[in-house]
Structure 1
Amino acid sequence: MSQRVIVTGGSGGIGAAIVERFVTDGARVAVLDRRAPAAEPASLFFSVDLRDPLDTRRAVGEAIAALGGIDVLVNCAGVFQHVSLLDITVDDWDLVLDINARATLVTMQAVAPVMLEARAGSIVNIASMAAKQGGGGEGHYAASKAAVVALTRAGAQEWGCHGVRVNAVCPGYVLTDMGADTRSDDDVRTWSAKSPLGRLGAPEDVAGVTHFLASPAGGYLTGQAINVTGGMIMH
Structure 2
Amino acid sequence: MTGMRRFEGSRVIVTGAARGIGARIAERFVHEGARVVILDWNAEAGRAHAERIGATFIQVDLSDNDATKRAVRAAIEELSGVDVLINNAGMLRFASVLETDPDEWDAMFAVNTRAMLVTTQVAAAAMIAAGQGGAVVNLASMAAKTGGEGQVAYAASKAAVVALTRVAALELGEHGIRVNAMCPGYVLTEMGADTRTPEKVALWSSYSPLGRLGTTDDVAGLALFLASCDGEYFTGQAVNVTGGMVMH
Asked if these proteins are the same fold (TM beyond 0.5), I'd say: yes
Question: Of 16, 19, 37, which aligns to 1:9?
Answer: 16
Q: TM-score, normalised by structure 2?
A: 0.93
The residue number in structure 2 matching 1:113 is 125
Q: Tell me the SS of whatever aligns to 1:82.
A: coil
The residue number in structure 2 matching 1:46 is 58
Q: Tell me the SS of whatever aligns to 1:85.
A: coil
The residue number in structure 2 matching 1:223 is 236
Q: Tell me the SS of whatever aligns to 2:150.
A: coil
Residue-pair matches, total: 235
Shift of 1:91: 1.9
In the alignment, structure 1 residue 30 sits paired with structure 2 residue 37 = yes
- Structure 2 unaligned runs (5+)? 1-7
Does the CA-based 8 Å contact 1:79-1:96 persist in structure 2? Answer: yes
Opposite residue 82 of structure 1, the aligned amino acid is F
Does the CA-based 8 Å contact 1:116-1:162 persist in structure 2? Answer: yes
Matches within 5 A, 1:70-149: 70-117=82-129, 118-149=131-162
Opposite residue 35 of structure 1, the aligned amino acid is N
CA–CA distance in structure 2, aligned partners of residues 234 and 90 of structure 1: 32
Matches within 5 A, 1:115-194: 115-117=127-129, 118-194=131-207
Q: Tell me the SS of whatever aligns to 1:125.
A: strand
Does the CA-based 8 Å contact 1:132-1:146 persist in structure 2? Answer: yes
Q: Per-residue CA shift, 1:52-90, capped at 9, x if unaligned?
A: 000000000000000000000000000001211111102
- Structure 1 unaligned runs (5+)? none
CA–CA distance in structure 2, aligned partners of residues 86 and 216 of structure 1: 45
Identity over aligned pairs, percent: 57
Opposite residue 186 of structure 1, the aligned amino acid is E
Opposite residue 215 of structure 1, the aligned amino acid is S
Q: Tell me the SS of whatever aligns to 1:187.
A: helix
Question: Of 208, 211, 236, which aligns to 1:195?
Answer: 208
* Higher mean displacement: 141-150 or 83-92: 83-92
Q: Tell me the SS of whatever aligns to 1:234.
A: coil
Q: Tell me the SS of whatever aligns to 1:88.
A: coil
Q: Tell me the SS of whatever aligns to 2:183.
A: strand
* Higher mean displacement: 141-150 or 112-121: 112-121
Q: Tell me the SS of whatever aligns to 1:20.
A: helix
Opposite residue 102 of structure 2, the aligned amino acid is V
Opposite residue 38 of structure 2, the aligned amino acid is V
Instruction: Show structure 1 runs of 4+ deviating over 4 A.
Output: none
Opposite residue 241 of structure 2, the aligned amino acid is V
CA–CA distance in structure 1, aligned partners of residues 110 and 184 of structure 2: 20
Q: TM-score, normalised by structure 1?
A: 0.98
Does the CA-based 8 Å contact 1:82-1:182 persist in structure 2? Answer: no
